[in-house]
Structure 1
């Protein structure tokens, strides 16, 4: 039995959740939205990113449902920014970034950003926040009208501001986050169509492309969904489209597949979740001889970017927890205990707050890919989800526990 006060234990995680929220509260910008935090917790007020504001709205929405003081006000602050500042009233949808005056800086419309808007809206709706239902319906309409491609059963990547030009690139990452957002939406609203779409994505990305490539997940595709295995070979450490295969996504998908299985999905989901987890451990952990999961591998399992990302470690402990609970994967439970200690020893920044977002292979702080400590989305979920059922989504589970839904 794990000591509740040791890393990964219930009391430790509850204290860490509070510590993360205190750090994250610094990202609240008085004139709207949330700022990207640097390593000391100072927000960038000159450029506000849609994905940061949406993710922090989701986090504070979960925290509100869990009863954390002040969290409801922060979540409502995020909802207002999504309804107002980031929304494009002329064309619909949400722009990717704005400056301190609310002027759009990056005007493309991305599936990635819109999925996080849907996730934030679903969480806010479960928390019964003012404006959340309207935000949720807007996000559903935009995704259905522009991003969802029924002919492929997947989402397209991005459009110009006026929706007139569609990028000829398709991505697995945005579709992975669509699974998260679509299942949260389905759980919050009771609409099965969104869960069915999430299942369609899993079937194509994991049951199709990933299985066909020996469980090395392709991340980048052409407009007709042909894998582009050499995409960004000359820019291997790209923030959102790195070259090769991203081990952390195998772990994140493992958790999401377990969730779909728990919602009544077929048996292959649990088998695939186990395979992705086991393969990530076999080829991704200490792939260069040092402890930790490396960021990316090439198609021969050689290390491309060796940095250790906090979000990968967060997804690793969550995948291990999910597989232990759903499939009695004993090795996963043992690894989770080791990984929590590793995380606490190296990623948790007890002096500066939050978690270091990136470490080098020497386990020193690195900024090769991600400078600063942008948000607490992955870290907060890592310390909260083990206390919740594997399904429904966290917001719906917390709402039911608190008698809201």
Structure 2
């Protein structure tokens, strides 16, 4: 039987099963999810990372709602977040713990805590035991420690005791906060979270508009833009130098989702989503893929190609194509789905290669393993979901 057309519903269903089957191997006998290597073997010695555990919990909560029955790994993930990472003295969640569940990295970051909110929100919608209590705690911590009412954005990170806040401010963590707040609003019915998501987007869009839609991501403690940040470490996995086209694409999708979540959305959301998408595609496209970063003139800097960038590319293109009746994004979809099939799908081990070099060979300079199923799962399911509410809410609603 011939393989389904890349991007078609049968193809996406096959890929979703492959990605989820691979991800299940990350479950550790002692609790939580470990980091998977490229072949799908869990690296027990590396311990447990909060962002991976939160994302895996989200993925298996989504899988539960897709299947219409509770996936045991969704409950497994909620227990890990409630029991293994919690700081019993100061509250919040440690960034990493050892394989025997001792604190390994005690820094407390907005990025990781946003994913706890996202995971707990999806798990609550999936009716996972313990998820409602986890979400209440996660939202309370995020509001108290990370939300900055004056700035209308989130602080980046604290020490273990919440005594010293990092001077850096970042858009990446705020982007995932927008996603988490929208899903939390859908899970709780509280409009406060989507209104805060709008405030974050207002600031981000203003900075991008003033920078020819190349999104500044790094700031000092007073939210002054740092365009040269990490110029000596341009391939950093979380704070790379320059503009990140994949984030421009991700923001464009989130702006459309935010529009659908608001009762009276501002008109600039669609304009900004279109502009961010157009700039990211123009600057980042090399052949049928998109590079990791560019400089502020739009020239590629880090030319590796990441699976998450391609996942966000097809998700954004599909979202904008539907919102604009095909005027934006539709022309790119077939090319990018085929690129994922041709370059990223791992026919030997399953799931998707996380990184390719400039010659489109499997690489590992920034992402040597396959720890993440979240981006691929979203990309494979979003085309079947409405533009609003969020994916988790729409699955919960059937």
TM-score, normalising length from structure 2? 0.97
CA distance in structure 2 between the aligned counterparts of 1:89 and 1:38, rounded to whole angstroms: 31
CA distance in structure 2 between the aligned counterparts of 1:80 and 1:235, rounded to whole angstroms: 36
CA distance in structure 2 between the aligned counterparts of 1:254 and 1:105, rounded to whole angstroms: 35
Shift of 1:246: 0.6
CA distance in structure 2 between the aligned counterparts of 1:220 and 1:340, rounded to whole angstroms: 31
Question: What does residue range 6-405 of structure 1 map to in structure 2 within 5 Å?
Answer: 6-46=5-45, 47-67=47-67, 72-206=71-205, 208-264=206-262, 265-286=265-286, 290-330=287-327, 332-401=329-398
Shift of 1:346: 0.4
Q: Deviations over 1:193-224 (max 9, x none)?
A: 00001000000011x11111111100100000
CA distance in structure 2 between the aligned counterparts of 1:367 and 1:18, rounded to whole angstroms: 24
Q: Deviations over 1:339-363 (max 9, x none)?
A: 1011101001121111000111111
Shift of 1:331: 5.0
Is the alpha carbon distance of 1:4 and 1:397 closer, same or farther for their aligned partners in structure 2, counting shifts above 3 Å?
A: farther
TM-score, normalising length from structure 1? 0.95
337-346 or 326-335, which deviates more = 326-335
Shift of 1:228: 0.5
Shift of 1:188: 1.0
Residue pair 1:4, 1:11 contacting (<8 A) in 2 also: no
CA RMSD of aligned residues (A): 1.3
- Structure 1 gaps of 5+ residues are none
CA distance in structure 1 between the aligned counterparts of 2:123 and 2:261, rounded to whole angstroms: 21
Equivalences, count? 394
Is the alpha carbon distance of 1:337 and 1:204 closer, same or farther for their aligned partners in structure 2, counting shifts above 3 Å?
A: same
CA distance in structure 2 between the aligned counterparts of 1:235 and 1:15, rounded to whole angstroms: 37
Q: Deviations over 1:350-402 (max 9, x none)?
A: 2111100011111101111111111211111111111111111111111111x
Shift of 1:243: 0.7
Residue pair 1:292, 1:308 contacting (<8 A) in 2 also: yes
CA distance in structure 1 between the aligned counterparts of 2:354 and 2:319, rounded to whole angstroms: 23
Q: Deviations over 1:281-308 (max 9, x none)?
A: 111101xxx4410100111212110001
Shift of 1:316: 0.4
Shift of 1:68: 7.0
Shift of 1:330: 3.7
Residue pair 1:112, 1:157 contacting (<8 A) in 2 also: yes
SS at match of 1:105: strand
CA distance in structure 2 between the aligned counterparts of 1:400 and 1:150, rounded to whole angstroms: 32
SS at match of 2:381: helix
Residue pair 2:283, 2:300 contacting (<8 A) in 1 also: no
Q: Deviations over 1:303-330 (max 9, x none)?
A: 1100011000000000010011111134
Shift of 1:4: 10
Residue pair 1:4, 1:10 contacting (<8 A) in 2 also: no
CA distance in structure 2 between the aligned counterparts of 1:168 and 1:332, rounded to whole angstroms: 37
SS at match of 1:185: helix
